[in-house]
Amino acid sequence: MQYDFDEIIETIRMTEIEHFDIRTVTMGISLRDCADKNLEISKKKIREKIIRYAKDLVKNAKEIESQYGISIANKRISVTPISIPFDSYTSEEFIEIAKTLDLTAEEIGIDYIAGYSALVQKGMTNGEKELIKSIPYALSQTKRVCSSVNVASTKAGINMDAILMMADIIKLTAELTKDKDSIGCAKIVIFANAVEDNPFIAGAFHGVSEPEVSLNVGISGPGVVLDAIKEAGKVDLQQLSEIIKKTVFKITRAGELIGRKVAEKNGIPFGIVDISLAPTPVEGDSIADILKAMGLEDVGATGTTAALAMLNDSVKKAGLMASSSVGGLSGAFIPVSEDAGMINAVLSNNLSLEKLEAMTSVCSVGLDMIAIPGDTPSSIIAGIIADEAAIGVINDKTTAVRIIPAYGKKAGDLVNYGGLLGKAPVMNVKMLANSNFINRGGRIPAPIRSLTN
């Protein structure tokens, strides 16, 4: 037979038992040609353009799904950072744009549309300021729109004014969506070194250097890696790294195949495959469980950062070999609410915010889906964002903060969103004052690393 019996069984096991799936196929659509002085015309152009390219996205993805027997969990859309084409708009007008995006997403049957974004690492235009001010209202008045703001980069440094503003925006969003456990905050990502082709919501946007339209794929297979590690038994770390690489290689190849086929079916160019290990709240689909299988009692134990670093690096290396279109964030995600093992580690007091921060210096993104007490002051939230941005800027990597100051909740409570967003225990935050530092404002200059020319 052309394929070994075991090879075929391995694939079936990955897709049917170990939850290997394509986490998302995300169509990136440029909206740069949709701006008009007249808001109504802009809205019409946006709707028409998105529908023109993406009307069959869901249908086509479903067909490919059944043809190849690999499930595609989410079908989504990212657009040009809205502040760029519509820079002349006011907050009120931006909110109207958000509503149009929301309605259009509903019309074509997708659950999230991302790109209500601004890139302000060095400074803000008037339009960007207006967009950022509108975020809490836009997110509380829509269901599907996701927002992100890039506040720092290795080349530009850290825009502390923007961080201060974002801390207030997050607090206000939490308040405006208090009826739903402050869910609005789950749809805001604050980035350092944001990437332009990330397919993962909520932080996705269609960067300015991207083509008119492209299709990016995010794969996910923590369960597959977990089982491979368990099966390996007692091997040394070099061998373990080999095993992780071999496994990730296979799922990346499958991811690229599916991405190309979906792109082909939609008649648009294929962009990248993002080889991230993205957990879900489902049992066994967990990064925490991988770290435990590597030999830790629980996430948060000493050695956690080293184990995660190795995992993240092995994932990247395998992906690079498997596909020449690797992009996006590509690594291991460590969200709290979306990973059953991480939730348990927090609940049993094994994992603190400080350890999570250390882990983000070696994982692919950052502090993700973390609930903190609703009365946490803005300056403390700004401090958390600034720390995370510093890790990204100095290490020349993407970092992000998606934090939920859950309105009316205190440490030890639980916020529950259900579905892929999962549930998050409200974590304890150190309340030591930092405002004399944070409120200085201005910009932390770009590090020595930025001078590479």
The binding site for other proteins (CB under 8 A) comprises 1-5, 7-12, 16, 63, 66-70, 250-251, 253-254, 256-257
Of 347, 149, 140, 314, give the one whose Cα is nearest residue 244.
314
* CB of 142 or CB of 314, closer to other proteins: 314
CB 342 → other proteins: shortest distance, Å?
Answer: 29
**Least Å from the CB of residue 255 to other proteins:** 9
Nearer to other proteins, 21 or 339 (CB): 21
Beta bridge partners of 122: none
To other proteins, the closest distance from the beta carbon of 323 in angstroms equals: 10
Q: What is the DSSP string of 90-123?
A: -HHHHHHHHHHHHHHHHHTT-S-EEEEEEE-SS-
Closer CB to other proteins, residue 1 or residue 432? 1
Query: Rounded to whole angstroms, how far apart are CA atoms 122 and 444?
Result: 10
**What CA–CA distance (Å, rounded) separates 175 from 322?**
45
Q: Which pairing describes strands 188-192 and 399-406: parallel, antiparallel, or unpaired?
A: antiparallel
CA distances from 333 to 53, 271, 275 (A): 30, 21, 11
We find the least distance from the C-beta atom of residue 263 to other proteins, in angstroms, to be 15
Q: Which is nearer to other proteins, 256 or 274 (CB)?
A: 256
Q: Which is nearer to other proteins, 4 or 236 (CB)?
A: 4
- The nearer residue to other proteins, 16 or 92, going by C-beta atoms, is 16
What is the Cα–Cα distance from 285 to 242, expressed in whole angstroms? Answer: 21
Region for 429 from its dihedrals, namely left if φ exceeds 0, alpha if ψ lies in -120 to 50, beta otherwise: beta
Smallest separation (angstroms) from other proteins to the CB of 15: 8
Name every residue whose Cβ is closer than 8 Å to that of residue 369 and which is 6 or more positions away in sequence. Answer: 186, 335, 336, 337, 338, 402, 404, 421, 422, 424
Closest approach, Cβ 222 to other proteins, in A, equals 17
The nearer residue to other proteins, 5 or 302, going by C-beta atoms, is 5
Which of residues 65 and 96 has its CB atom nearest to other proteins in the complex?
65
> Based on CB atoms, which residue is closest to other proteins, 10 or 313?
10
* Least gap, CB of 259 to other proteins (angstroms): 11
Which residue matches tokens 């930092």?
Answer: 434
DSSP H helices, 114-210, are 126-140, 160-176
Q: How far apart are CA 220 and CA 251, in angstroms?
A: 8
What SS3 class is residue 193?
coil
Kindly report the number of other CB atoms within 10 A of residue 262's CB atom. 25
Least spacing, CB of residue 58 vs other proteins, in Å:
16
CB of residue 3 to other proteins, shortest distance in Å: 5
